[in-house]
Amino acid sequence: MSPTGDQQQVKQRQTSFKVTLVAVVAQVGCLTLLILLVAVFGGLWLDKTFNTRPMFMLGLTITSALVSLVVIFWVVRAATSRLESVSSSKTNHSEEEAKSGKD
């Protein structure tokens, strides 16, 4: 008993969604870690250079949290727009096939 074409399409969409979700989570995690590390080490270097021990590190760390939120929003928004465009193109293609089959 093999799955029908519609079931295969649904399964393929679900798999595509899951892969995209994992990719988005990985991107967000890596970018957040990178931004935080740059802020901390940059802040430590600036504090050492200007002899202002916790000021730059704290300021850049707080700023990195805000930058991370913006980056997270941007990555998720880009991924969802790609998912929507792929989903709509597959739907349009399926509808065209259905119309040509009915004629």
In tens, the pLDDT along 46-88 reads 999 999 999 999 999 999 999 999 999 999 999 988 888 777 7
Domains held by the chain: number: 1
Asked, for residue 2, whether it belongs to a domain, the answer is no
23 domain-assigned: no
Domain residues for the domain of 63 are 29-90
The answer as to whether 59 is a domain residue is: yes
44 membership: H or E segment, kind and range: helix 5-50
User: Residue 98 falls within a domain, yes or no?
Assistant: no
Spatial CB neighbours of 67, under 8 Å, sequence gap ≥ 6: 35
Is 19 inside any structural domain? Answer: no
Reduce the DSSP state of residue 14 to 3 states and report it.
Answer: helix
Is 18 inside a domain boundary? Answer: no
Q: Under 8 Å CB-to-CB from 68, ≥6 apart: which residues?
A: 31, 32, 35, 36
90 pLDDT more than 70? no
Confidence of residue 95 (pLDDT cuts 50, 70, 90): low
Residue 3 has pLDDT above 90, yes or no: no
1 lies in a domain?
no
